[in-house]
Amino acid sequence: QLQLQESGPGLVKPSETLSLTCTVSGDSISGTSINWAWIRQPPGKGLEWIGTIYYSGNAYYNPSLQSRVTISVDTSKNQISLRVSSVTAADTAVYYCATHMNTVATDWFDPWGQGTLVTVSS
């Protein structure tokens, strides 16, 4: 069973770039057909899909964030990364990584990490 753990700075200044890492344990992600997603949750609010990177390397992003977001995979480190540029207070949230099963026949996000809180403030 895969386990995911998010990590990164808990505080980021406005206009700077938020960088987070999701470390996968339980199996190597190299050579697998697993897709990975980042999802966030502002304090007291609902979930928001940020983006998904497929095992093919193609990545798709929420249109509202597309110009500022990059998701990448480092198979040598068993990690998935998220970068959000030009952050504002609206980017303050708990950030989750998750595996994303998405085929023509099925679709779901599971498992998820515990999440990491990122606060944007000067």
Residues at the site binding another protein, with contacts judged by CB under 8 A: 39, 45-49, 52, 60, 62-64, 96, 98, 102, 106-115
CB of 1 to another protein, least distance (A): 11
Q: Which two tokens stand for residue 37?
A: 């997603």
CB of 11 to another protein, least distance (A): 19
**CA-wise closest residue to 100 among 52, 60, 66:** 52
Nearest CB to another protein, comparing residues 49 and 78: 49
Nearest CB to another protein, comparing residues 104 and 122: 104
CB of 25 to another protein, least distance (A): 15
Which are the contacts of 42, defined by CB distance < 8 A and separation ≥ 6? Answer: 48, 90, 92, 93
DSSP string, 37-64: EEEEE-TTS--EEEEEE-TTS-EEE-TT
What DSSP element (H or E) covers 83?
Answer: strand 79-84
Nearest CB to another protein, comparing residues 16 and 102: 102
CB of 76 to another protein, least distance (A): 25
